[in-house]
Structure 1
Amino acid sequence: MKVQYLIPFVEAAYEVLKAEVNIPMQRGDLSLDKGAYLTDDVTVIISLVGDIEGIVFYGFSTEAALNIASSMLGEHLEEMNGLAQSGIAELGNVITGRASVKLSKSGFQSTISPPTMLLGKGATISTLDFPRVVVPLTSNIGRVSIHLALREAMRQGANAALLKVPEAPGIKQVK
């Protein structure tokens, strides 16, 4: 994966986590994982399509997810109920959205999917040997890991979607 795809996600994560929970995160060493992803206690999954395609996993310990959701919502949460899940899913959505905007400023347009929330540690998600860069973030409220499996879209498919459709006889083109 090109570093120019990675940096917007790391920057966005720092910015959003600082704004939402007002706690700076420390980045650990990056690693490359080619195997199936084993989910954390709480995992948010978001796909990207467009010039950049792939998937992003945000993995949280239950402790970190509850601490972050509690801080975001301004109330103490003791379990990963619907409110906590919604807050953490939205956090992943905001980070990915902000990273997508940063990518677009570099000339890579992409659209993100709505977030999917997966609860429970140890579920296996295969990215079909699509390597993931793992970015661990830690703070005094717990750990967050970002798994990025991104690549530039195949130009054939992207260009095919941009082909001009010829006018059909007798049908006016709307401008």
Structure 2
Amino acid sequence: MGTARKLFSELLEVGLSPNTAVYSSMIWGFQNLNNMEAALDLHKKMISEGIPCDLKAYTTLIDGLLKRGELLVATDLYSEMLQKKIVPDIKTYTVLINGLCNKGQLENARKNLEDMNKRSMTPSVHIYSTLIAGNFKEGNLQEAFRLHDEMLDRGLVPDDITYDILVNGKFKGANALVGTSCA
């Protein structure tokens, strides 16, 4: 990123204006280095210079913010993206649902799944596995199995990760019940 930052500065020095692709690449690089301050600064610079922020940049920023637990800032960026009529894709929804589930925001994650349905987008097996794992973690076993059934109804084939979640979750739940009845 040091070299990229130097080239970026050189562009500005010679009077060239970086385009959306250059900014998005820089934002992605800083997010990968977990330098969200630099990534957000670039986003602000884009906006102030009238350079449109694309779906890739928004998704990258939201992903980095959710990984850091900055739900409010991530939500604000997502709202900004939607206001600009930028339509989320499967990667954006994956980032949102994964980040929200990891922070215990299952209701908000479920709303994103519903939004996907409204947009006639089929969630991936990964998205379902993430939601199933989140519900198991919170003790919502009925919802976890309902999501599994919904996934099957959509013609999606669960992968090893999905089955691992279901089997381990089911096993832990069964042990808890057996331990309680024997006490």
**TM norm structure 1:** 0.24
Over alpha carbons, which structure has the higher Rg? 2
Higher relative contact order (CA 8 A, sep 6+): 1
Structure in which a larger fraction of residues adopt helix: 2
| TM-score normalized by the length of structure 2 | 0.23
Greater per-residue strand proportion:
1
